[in-house]
């Protein structure tokens, strides 16, 4: 990315989309197969509205409470908006999350799978689900360990009747992301999943080259978070 400080979020987004279609072409991918999630966490409605006005409709938030405060009004104005939950989810917020979000990227434990299954049955809504994988086996980080992944996915599918759309990861901050993206791709293929949520502002190009279908960009669009 070039100097972004003077640009508006809408202008940065336009450039990113052009860059992405170029990246897709160079990687022999269809650009329509790569979903750009504009991560609007910490940014208020005033920062988000211009991006909606520019035509973008896919957004990510990492907290249920924050999304519940910001999005209902914005969504009323832009009803075709798709909201992605990319942050940790407590099982006692499963109902609210199923209500608010179209896709949840952070399914990572049986208790949450059970709560989501219950919330979906009660509401009739079926958000798409990604299982978050702790590819770096970091003790403080959310996500299923690589070792437990296959059993957990099987449990989601058979015991909770959940359809799992793909895998998500957040590589360790101080490591090269590439090996983590490659591992996630291998795991998804072994579990028969078509979607990979990986790549953020610093590493989306590499993620696309390794098969990302959902990239999650905050800073590259909205600038630094306060
Ligand atoms: C904040 C966040 C992002 C976006 O990060 P940027 O570096 O600002 O692009 C992506 N994914 C998750 C899970 C996040 O929490």
Write out pLDDT tens, residues 28-47.
999 899 999 999 999 999 99
Q: Which atom of ligand 1 is nearest to the CA of 202?
A: 7
Q: How confident is the model over 8-16, as a mean pLDDT?
A: 96
Whole-number pLDDT of residue 154: 98
CB count in 10 Å sphere of residue 19: 15
When pLDDT is cut at 50, 70 and 90, the band that residue 216 belongs to is very high
Report the pocket of ligand 1 as residue ranges, CB < 6 Å.
39, 41, 62, 86-87, 170, 200-202, 216-220
Whole-number pLDDT of residue 20: 96
Mutate to test the pocket of ligand 1, among 86, 204, 226 (most ligand atoms within 8 A of CB): 86
Q: How confident is the model over 178-206, as a mean pLDDT?
A: 98
**SS3 state of residue 201:** coil
Whole-number pLDDT of residue 219: 98
**SS3 state of residue 149:** helix
End-to-end CA distance of the chain: 20
Residue 14 or residue 5, greater confidence: 14
* Mean pLDDT score of the chain: 96
Whole-number pLDDT of residue 5: 59
Give residue 122 CA to ligand 1 midpoint distance, Å: 31
In this structure, which topology does domain 9-222 adopt according to CATH?
TIM Barrel (3.20.20)
91-112 core/surface letters (b: 16 or more CB in 10 A; e: else): bebbbbbbebbebbbbbbbbeb
The two tokens of residue 99 are 């209500």
Pairing of strands 144-145, 166-169: unpaired
Whole-number pLDDT of residue 40: 98
What is the rounded (10 degree) CA torsion for 193, 195, 198, 199? 150
User: Is it the case that residue 3 has pLDDT exceeding 60?
Assistant: no
User: Is it the case that residue 63 has pLDDT exceeding 70?
Assistant: yes
């Amino acid at each position: 990315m070039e100097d972004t400080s003077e640009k508006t979020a809408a202008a940065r987004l336009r450039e990113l989309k052009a860059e992405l279609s170029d990246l897709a072409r160079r990687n022999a991918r269809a650009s329509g197969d790569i979903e750009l999630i504009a991560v609007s966490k910490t940014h208020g409605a005033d920062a988000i509205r211009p991006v909606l006005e520019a035509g973008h409709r896919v957004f990510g938030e990492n907290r249920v409470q924050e999304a519940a405060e910001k999005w209902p009004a914005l969504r009323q104005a832009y009803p075709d908006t798709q909201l992605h939950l990319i942050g940790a989810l407590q099982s006692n917020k499963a109902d609210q999350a199923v209500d608010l979000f179209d896709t949840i990227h952070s399914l990572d434990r049986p208790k949450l799978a059970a709560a989501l299954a219950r919330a979906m049955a009660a509401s009739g809504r079926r958000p798409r689900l990604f299982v978050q994988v702790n590819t770096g086996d970091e003790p403080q980080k959310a996500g299923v360990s690589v070792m437990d992944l296959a059993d957990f996915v099987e449990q989601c599918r058979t015991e909770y009747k959940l359809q799992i759309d793909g895998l998500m990861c957040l590589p360790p901050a101080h490591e090269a992301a590439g090996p983590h993206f490659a591992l996630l791709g291998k795991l998804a293929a072994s579990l028969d999943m078509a979607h990979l949520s990986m790549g953020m502002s610093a590493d989306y190009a590499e993620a696309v080259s390794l098969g990302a279908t959902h990239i999650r960009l905050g800073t590259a669009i909205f600038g630094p978070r306060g």
